[in-house]
Amino acid sequence: MTSLDQLLSAFSIIGTVVFAVSGALFAAEKRMDILGFILVGTVTGVGGGTLRDLLLGISPVSWVHDPTAVYICIGASALTYFTVDLYRKRDAWILWTDAIGLAVFAVMGAQAAVAHEVPPMIAVVMGVMTATFGGLMRDVLCAEVLTLMRPEIYISCALVGSAGYVGFYQTGVNESIAATVAFAMGFGLRAAAIWFKLTLPRFGP
């Protein structure tokens, strides 16, 4: 396995775990049972990748071919159920785990699209969809106000991460460096948005 494969594998595991945990913490807020934790956590962890694979025409989708991601989601969600009392200030945990997952999956989605030789713009869109769709499904299942509707910058962070990776790739930057820097760009912007309440201008007075 090359260093790039190892890096992307690590990114994939980290992103899946933190998204599953963020989904499970939402389930905790709704006082669900352990199966609810697992359902919400799994949908959050694999939802974005599922949409990406379907749009790219990958059949079967990645987690059907290799269910490792589903096992990771189940394990992380179940562990969260039994340790949820350790997560003080769960809203903050949700925000920050979601931020990590957002940046990771923006890069992973763009990389998967690039590997299928789609146009650069489509690769960026795939990165954004991969990063945001799992969280969107989590919010719907938990009947929460969509994270996309929060005042802080959100979609832009996924856009920066995925566009950064595609841009670096197109200019011949080493893929491991491209993935690492693009992750830092996406996560850094999201972290700044959370910390400093950064927003984009909104429609209306």
Return averaged pLDDT per consecutive 10 residues of the chain, 205 residues in all: 76 92 93 97 96 94 94 97 87 89 95 96 97 94 84 91 98 93 97 91 75
Would you state the pLDDT for residue 132?
95
Rounded-to-integer distance, Cα 93 and Cα 32, Å: 18
Would you state the pLDDT for residue 54?
96
Would you state the pLDDT for residue 4?
67
CA gyration radius, the chain? 16
- On whether the CB atoms of residues 147 and 136 are closer than 8 A, the answer is yes
What predicted TM-score, i.e. pTM, was given to this entire model? 0.92
